[in-house]
Structure 1
Amino acid sequence: MARIVYIIEQDCQGCGLCEDICPEVFRLDEESEVARVIEPKGGPEDLIQEAIESCPAECICWEEE
């Protein structure tokens, strides 16, 4: 089964680590200062997983499609 990544935006601290690790998938919104998923299937799963594990707010998750 395929997985897509999502962010629990209300928990995001806006640190930008996810964008640093996988900019193809994550982008820090300058206006709201929270990360957003710009392309849920747009990057390598290993980099997405690294972003998930690196997130200090633990707000990035996988969801079964």
Structure 2
Amino acid sequence: MPAPSLPLAEASLDLEHCTSCQACVELCPEVFGWDEDQELPYLKTSQGNEEDLRKAAAYCPKDCIQVTSLQRKTP
């Protein structure tokens, strides 16, 4: 029997008020990267583990991260 897959979610960034704290990069490095030139985070990929993305969004001091659940629909 295959292992259950982790719930996926999609992330988006609104960097207008970003404080460059890098919490998102530390908490979810598989989704968020750091642009050294602009000193801002960027999305490596838009999808990741929902729990990790929600944790990163909760730690963002300026609410720059939006998370949308990608729950599978059953027939």
Taking structure 2 as the reference length, the TM-score comes to 0.73
Give the structure 2 partner of residue 17 of structure 1.
23
Give the structure 1 partner of residue 60 of structure 2.
55
Work out whether residues 14 and 28 of structure 1, in 8 Å CA contact, stay in contact via their aligned partners in 2.
Answer: no
Give the structure 2 partner of residue 35 of structure 1.
41
After TM superposition, which residue ranges in structure 1, 4 or more long, deviate above 4 angstroms?
none
User: SS of 1:5's equivalent?
Assistant: strand
User: SS of 2:56's equivalent?
Assistant: helix
Structure 1 vs Structure 2: percent identity of aligned residues?
A: 29
- Deviation for aligned residue 1:62: 2.3
User: Is the counterpart of residue 4 in structure 1 residue 10 in structure 2?
Assistant: yes
**1:49 alignment partner AA:** R
Taking structure 1 as the reference length, the TM-score comes to 0.83
Give the structure 1 partner of residue 73 of structure 2.
none
Distance 1:49 1:9 in 2: 17
Distance 2:17 2:40 in 1: 9
User: SS of 1:58's equivalent?
Assistant: coil
Gaps of 5+ in 2: 1-7, 71-75
Distance 1:63 1:4 in 2: 5
Gaps of 5+ in 1: none
